[in-house]
Amino acid sequence: MDLSHNNFLTQCSFYAAAIGLSLGLVSPTFAADRITLQIKERQLVVTIDQLTNYANTGNLSAVPEIEEIYPFLTPDKQEAVDKFPAQLKDSINIRPNEPLSPDEQDFLNFLVPSGNPQEQQQALELIAEKGNDRTVLDFLKALPVETLTTDNFLPVLTAYVPDTKPPKQQPDSKEKSAINVLWYGQNLTYNQSISNLASAASSYDPWGDGSLDWNLTFWNPGEPAPDFSQYDTLVIGSAFPELYGFDASRLLSSKETIEEARGSRTFISGQDADLHYILTHGSVPNGPFGFLINAVNWAGSGTDLGIVSLPDGRLSQGRIQGTLWWLHEDSFLKNELEGDISYFTENWIELPTATSGFPVNEGLTSAGLSNWAQSSHVGLSKNIPGYLSINNSGNYFDWSVTMVTASEAGGATKGSQEVPEPASVLGLLAFGSLGTFSLLKRK
């Protein structure tokens, strides 16, 4: 099966058809109730109802046509498809008077082929006027045209008269500016350093979009299991007993209660960011400090108990050391990770374009995540079901160093909110550049 890219069409794509363009489509068509994808001589029809089901469940079987060709895609294209559930439910938030990034300008050149600046500005203003505060799916359903193309996009958008525009939703009373963080305690030195991190968490805001305070509690050695339902996230630090006395016994004896409380977001990494924060980097924003704050804020902003788990072991002096609790019979992560982890050292971390704009990577770059002497100690297979790589091994193509729950990967880091994070100016109607699906965050 030939899924090679068409050089022109893959520059940018209409958001809901981005699956098709990223797979290498020759010709896209768009409809209010369906999307027709043409791959060489093969035509695939994906309905809006199927996409809605996929967005709500995260189950690719809801879109049989795409599920059929999924195994033939390259890993980066599979990652792109995996991100759709969260993206399809994003709200449009276009700000037409702000400068465009090069990728956004490329999209406008594709969307309005004339390249006329006045027409392009008109398109931005119309999308903002008629689409803002609606989700991608709702906007697609409302379009009053059977087939939408780049040739008729502007006239259709000009003629489109939406129903009374719903008021912008506001977070309900459950929204909070702080999260309750339960940290798996180690010795006094370790705990004091984490307390310092927690005190500084609200100061980390590279995008200027707000931050969260942490209500920090330690679950220390010798203490019984807490009521996990009272916390937004459980953080389990690097499991190297020789440094700060990590003891996995509390985790292993609490498997069932953790599983009962566990929620929608899990963050697993081979990067020992807590140890590098304590021992080498301190409060350098683009490094372990920002990495930890983003991880905790993201995991704590889903439903129920989020999980952040740093490496359970490392390769040292020719042998694997650490507690290796991930694959213990009583580990709540065993069934998910068994057969999909490998212990090796990695010092170059690649932050993929497709996930660089996610809130969980706020303020971070490949350079900031790399060159920690040993930046990562565990590799995670990119094929773990239900997970998406947000940071890759720079030297081992098939391995990730940080994985997160795929259906929540692009989610907000603003506490427990009912309202989805707004999509970017052009990330909404969609516009991945060169076949990727990063949301071009516009703050």
DSSP per residue over 301-365, as a string? Answer: TSSSEEEEE--SEEEETTEEEE--GGGSTT-TTHHHHTTSEEEEEE--EE--HHHHTSGGGTT--
Q: List C-alpha distances in Å: 362 to 48, 147, 296, 402.
A: 31, 37, 12, 15
**Could you tell me how far CA 249 lies from the centroid of its own chain?**
31
With 50 as the cut, is the pLDDT of residue 4 above it?
A: no
Q: What pLDDT is recorded for position 87?
A: 67
Give me the mean pLDDT over the 173-184 stretch.
76
With 70 as the cut, is the pLDDT of residue 93 above it?
A: no
Rg (CA), the chain: 22
With 60 as the cut, is the pLDDT of residue 249 above it?
A: yes
pLDDT band (50, 70, 90) for residue 61: confident
Q: What pLDDT is recorded for position 45?
A: 67
d(CA 31, CA 263): 35
Give me the mean pLDDT over the 195-213 stretch.
93
pLDDT band (50, 70, 90) for residue 184: very high
Give me the mean pLDDT over the 220-231 stretch.
94
Q: Which one is predicted more confidently, 64 or 87?
A: 64
pLDDT band (50, 70, 90) for residue 169: very low
Q: List C-alpha distances in Å: 78 to 191, 382, 394, 406, 410.
A: 39, 10, 19, 11, 15
d(CA 213, CA 181): 10
3-state DSSP call for residue 113? coil
Please state, rounded to an integer, the average pLDDT across all residues of the chain.
77
Give me the mean pLDDT over the 2-18 stretch.
32
Give me the mean pLDDT over the 215-234 stretch.
95
Range of lowest pLDDT (110-124, 206-220, 395-409): 110-124
d(CA 262, CA 266): 9
**Tokens standing for residue 46:** 């994906």
Give me the mean pLDDT over the 243-247 stretch.
93
Give me the mean pLDDT over the 123-130 stretch.
79
Q: Which one is predicted more confidently, 172 or 385?
A: 385
Give me the mean pLDDT over the 37-47 stretch.
56
pLDDT band (50, 70, 90) for residue 441: very low
With 50 as the cut, is the pLDDT of residue 1 above it?
A: no
With 80 as the cut, is the pLDDT of residue 199 above it?
A: yes
DSSP per residue over 192-207, as a string? Answer: HHHHHHHHHGGG--TT
Give me the mean pLDDT over the 277-286 stretch.
92
pLDDT band (50, 70, 90) for residue 431: very low
With 60 as the cut, is the pLDDT of residue 37 above it?
A: no
Question: Which residue bears the tokens 């679950």?
Answer: 219
What torsion, rounded to 10 degrees, do the Cα atoms 79, 387, 426, 53 define? 100
What's the pLDDT tens digit per position in 350-388? 999 888 889 999 999 999 999 998 999 999 999 999 999
Give me the mean pLDDT over the 271-296 stretch.
95
What's the pLDDT tens digit per position in 317-341? 778 888 899 999 999 999 999 999 9
d(CA 47, CA 189): 56
With 70 as the cut, is the pLDDT of residue 176 above it?
A: no
Give me the mean pLDDT over the 15-26 stretch.
40
pTM tops 0.95, yes or no: no
Short-list 123, 212, 78, 170, CA closest to 422: 170
pLDDT band (50, 70, 90) for residue 111: low
Share of the chain above pLDDT 90, in %: 44
With 50 as the cut, is the pLDDT of residue 175 above it?
A: no
Give me the mean pLDDT over the 251-275 stretch.
96
Give me the mean pLDDT over the 90-105 stretch.
66
Q: Which one is predicted more confidently, 99 or 344?
A: 344
CA torsion sign, 380 to 382 to 385 to 388? positive
